[in-house]
Amino acid sequence: MSELNEQGNALLNLLADGEFHSGEKIGELLGVSRTSVNNYIKALQEIGLDIYKVTGKGYCSATPLALLNEQVIKKESGFEHIHVDQILASTNQYLLDKIAKLPNGQTCIAEYQTAGRGRRGREWVSPFASHLYFSMYWRLDAGIEKASGLSLLVGIATVNALEKLGIQGVGLKWPNDLYYQGKKLAGILIELNAQASDVCHTVIGIGINVRMPAEQGKLIDQPWSDLNSITPQPVDRNKLSALLIKELHSLLSSYEVKGLSPFLTRWFELDCFINQQVNLIIADNIQTGICRGINEQGALLLEIDQQIKPYIGGEISLRLANN
């Protein structure tokens, strides 16, 4: 399933203005009974749209909806290899399934994911037309070794794009999260298709909380934030997508040539945990120390008993020691 049916789209476009519409008016528009109208409303609610009913007034979307527009994103980014879909299992999986024939920089963005995933197999809550579900294919000719610091670079590119929208105060948590005032704002999932001594095909997945519906927020098992609670103006997801595409193209091209070294200073500026006591959870073991940033390979630097040791890759999680 990649899109709503004709009636679903008609109802979605009607409710996008954030105004009340009577069940009778909706039924006439869709050519269906009042009972069917209620079923269509429930179907939209099930994919995360916050729609409510007031007796005597009708149905209303809790907030006006601004849908993704492929042509607008192409024009504002200056890049053509962009695909926008309504409903996908996963934007990452969409690209992974086509990875053998993708042009470098091919981007996929969706309004809704039925099986969005985060790091370590976790589900990524993906309500319809609420957040940014974004994936980009990038070919690393230097091979899989170059992928070790990739999520850190992508984090920097994402913060850069947000700052160009006027959003300040977003930080990075090693290796793949964006935080705002101690709450998770976005996550990064890098998936690889590579063999030793060969080119490395990467799919870069980025999920950004833009406007979290209250009911969907209850499904998340950690403190979270969204862009619309940070900034007084609603975030234009088309503009954000275009900025993110431009930042990724720019930084990834530089990264392939120069590695992570030129970006270390920027990481240290954005590191949420720098010089704080942290717990590093490695499988069933916990290492406690002081976070001293990262090295040129993207490894976390942890100071324990006045000795600094790098940690990288695998099933590692980082937490503040007092949490």
**Domain boundaries defined on the chain:** 6-61, 70-268, 273-320
Q: Residue 247 and residue 205: Cα distance in Å, rounded?
A: 14
- State yes or no: pLDDT of 47 exceeds 60: yes
Q: Residue 128 and residue 175: Cα distance in Å, rounded?
A: 27
Least confident of 30-44, 224-238, 269-283: 30-44
- For 77-104, what is each residue's pLDDT tens digit? 999 999 999 989 999 999 999 998 999 9
Considering only residues 190 and 317, tell me which one the structure prediction assigns the higher pLDDT: 190
* pLDDT value at residue 1: 46
| Lookup: tokens for 152 | 């850190």
DSSP for 60-76 reads EESS------HHHHHHH
Closest CA to 153 of 134, 175, 169: 175
Q: What is the band of 2 on the pLDDT scale with cuts at 50, 70, 90?
A: low
What does the pLDDT average to over 226-236? Answer: 91
184 is catalytic: yes
Which one of 184, 239, 266, 309 is the catalytic residue?
184
122 is catalytic: no
Which one of 139, 239, 309, 319 is the catalytic residue?
319
Residues 6+ apart with CB under 8 A from 61: 15, 16, 17, 18, 49, 50, 51
What does the pLDDT average to over 225-249? Answer: 95
139 is catalytic: no
Q: Does domain 6-61 have CATH number 3.30.70.100?
A: no
Q: Is the bond preceding residue 310 a cis peptide, omega within 30 degrees? A: no
Which one of 119, 139, 164, 309 is the catalytic residue?
119
Given this chain, do its domains 70-268 and 273-320 carry the same CATH topology? no
CATH number of 273-320: 2.30.30.100
- For 124-178, what is each residue's pLDDT tens digit? 667 888 899 999 999 998 888 888 899 999 999 999 999 999 999 999 999 999 9
Total residues found in the chain within this entry: 323
CATH number of 70-268: 3.30.930.10
- For 240-297, what is each residue's pLDDT tens digit? 999 999 999 999 999 999 999 999 999 999 999 999 999 998 878 888 999 999 999 9
Strands 285-294, 177-180: parallel, antiparallel or unpaired by DSSP? unpaired
């695909």: which residue's tokens?
Answer: 83
Burial, 132: exposed, middle or buried (Cβ in 10 Å; 0-12, 13-18, 19+)? Answer: buried
Q: Residue 205 and residue 133: Cα distance in Å, rounded?
A: 8
* pLDDT value at residue 3: 64
Buried b (16+ CB within 10 A) or exposed e, 214-246: eebeeeeeeebbbbbebeeeebebbbbbbbbbb
The whole-model pTM stands at 0.88
